[in-house]
Amino acid sequence: MPAAAYEGEAGNPPAVAVEIWDAGGENWPEGLRSQYGDSIKDAASWAKKAVEVGAELVCLKLAGTHPDGANRGPDDAAATVKEVLGAVSVPLIVWGCGVAEQDNKVLPRCTAAARGENCLFGSITEKNYRTLVAACLADSHKLISESPLDINIAKQVNILAQDAGFPLEDIVIFPTTGALGYGFEYVYSIMERGRLAGLSGDQLLRQPVLCDVGAEAWRAKEARASDEELGALGPAVRRGPLWEAITATNLLMAGGDILVMRHPKAVEMLRKAIGTISQPGGTKAIS
């Protein structure tokens, strides 16, 4: 568990990823968009900017491939993946738009374009896993296995991937958490339960856990709302990143290993928290 360095060797410290989109970033809330300026128009420049603000991994979400959005095709998406790989040297997460049919067309082209780069591709679900499992096996990538904050389904998706020939040690669990203020105690207890089961020998729950913090936190009205709408909770310029950072810190405490972030200030605060809790006696320093 995090913040338990006094119990023994904790392995690699949690890692911070910064989220970028292939297209559609202009729809992000102003407080976020302004942090990245014009770079959001071009994934490669955005990726560089993400690294500048502290990304240890870049998380490229192919939001532009969504059929209801820009509906970019497999070729365009694969080209973007190549550009981002060329622009930055940190590890890359590539995430489909979440529409199974579209992802099954787009992602295999992207895994091929990124062959040999050992990327993390997402995500497989209980209902849709065969195509991406096969593509990641063929092109030697790692996999994100998604479950709706349900420990039973998390196990099930992993065993489905394993049955399809995918090694369990190359999987990252993604429980679709939620943000601060939206049933967070439940998120915490489910993640903690999974982590404890993994630590006590359940090989289907032993994988690292990825949390999609930025997307969840910035869906909350407390993070997005302008000063006119929610000024009582503090100025938007601080409220947004704080909401994200506190969501992230809680997910960190629940056992998150890879935290996907959006706001540079939140990234900074999270990295500081990780640095602190990874030290023996670190939790004392926080309190």
Partner 1 sequence: MYVIGERINGMFNDVKQAIVEKNPETIKDLAKRQMAAGADALDVNVGPASSDAEGALTWLVECIREVTEAPLAIDSAKWSVMSKVVPQVPGKVIINSSKADEDTLEKYVGLAMETGASLVALTIDRRGVPGDVERRVELGAQILTIAQAAGLPMERLFVDTIILPVNVAPKQPVNVLEALKQLAMLSDPAPHMVLGLSNVSQNCNERLLINRTYLTMAIACGLDSAIMDPMDKELLDAAITAELLTGKTIYCDSFLTAERKRKQAAGG
What is the torsion angle, in degrees rounded to the nearest 10, for the CA atoms of residue 70, residue 127, residue 158 and residue 95?
0
Tell me the C-alpha distance between 74 and 23, whole Å.
14
Question: Least distance in Å: CB of 151 to partner 1?
Answer: 6
Q: Is 205 in the site for partner 1 (CB under 8 A)?
A: yes
Query: Least distance (Å) from partner 1 to the CB of residue 134?
Result: 20
Size of interface with partner 1, in residues (CB under 8 A): 17
Judged by CB under 8 A, the chain residues 143 through 162 that form the site for partner 1 are 151-156, 159-160, 162
Q: Of 53 and 197, which CB lies nearer to partner 1 in the complex structure? A: 197
Q: How far is the CB of 137 from partner 1 (least distance, A)?
A: 18
| 40 vs 36: CA distance, rounded Å | 6
Rg (CA), the chain: 18
Pick one of 77, 144, 180, 204: the residue that binds partner 1 (CB under 8 A): 204
Residues 107-146 that bind partner 1 (CB under 8 A): none
DSSP string, 194-251: HHHHHHTT-TTS-S-BEE-HHHHHTTSHHHH--HHHHGGG--HHHHHHHHHHHHHHHH
Residue among 202, 225, 234, 276 that touches partner 1 (CB under 8 A): 202
Does 197 sit near partner 1 (CB under 8 A)? yes
To the nearest whole angstrom, how small is the minimum distance from the Cβ of residue 159 to partner 1?
5
- Closer residue to partner 1, CB minimum distance, 12 or 152: 152
**Is 10 an interacting residue with respect to partner 1 (CB under 8 A)?**
no
Per-residue tokens: 136: 């990641």
Near partner 1 in 247-276, by CB under 8 A: none
Tokens of 51: 């690294």
Q: Which is nearer to partner 1, 189 or 226 (CB)?
A: 189
Nearer to partner 1, 254 or 269 (CB): 254
Kind plus residue range of the DSSP H or E element containing 89: none
Closer residue to partner 1 (CB): 10 or 159: 159
Give the burial string for 259-269 (b: 16+ CB within 10 Å, else e). bbbbbbbbbbb
- Please calculate the CA angle 203-160-171 and round it to the nearest 5 degrees: 55
- Per rule CB under 8 A, is residue 203 in the interface with partner 1? yes
Q: Which is nearer to partner 1, 161 or 266 (CB)?
A: 161
Least distance in Å: CB of 199 to partner 1? Answer: 13
Q: How far is CA 132 from the centre of its chain?
A: 17
Which two tokens mark 127?
A: 């209902």
Q: Which CB atom, from 15 or from 154, has the smaller least distance to partner 1?
A: 154
* SS3 label, residue 267: helix
Contact call for residues 221 and 183 (beta carbons, < 8 A) = no
Task: Closer to partner 1 by CB, 162 or 176: give it.
Answer: 162
Measured from the CB of residue 178, what is the shortest distance to partner 1 in angstroms?
A: 21
Residue 226 has φ and ψ, to the nearest 5°, of -75, 175
Binding residues for partner 1 (CB under 8 A)? 151-156, 159-160, 162-163, 193, 197, 201-205
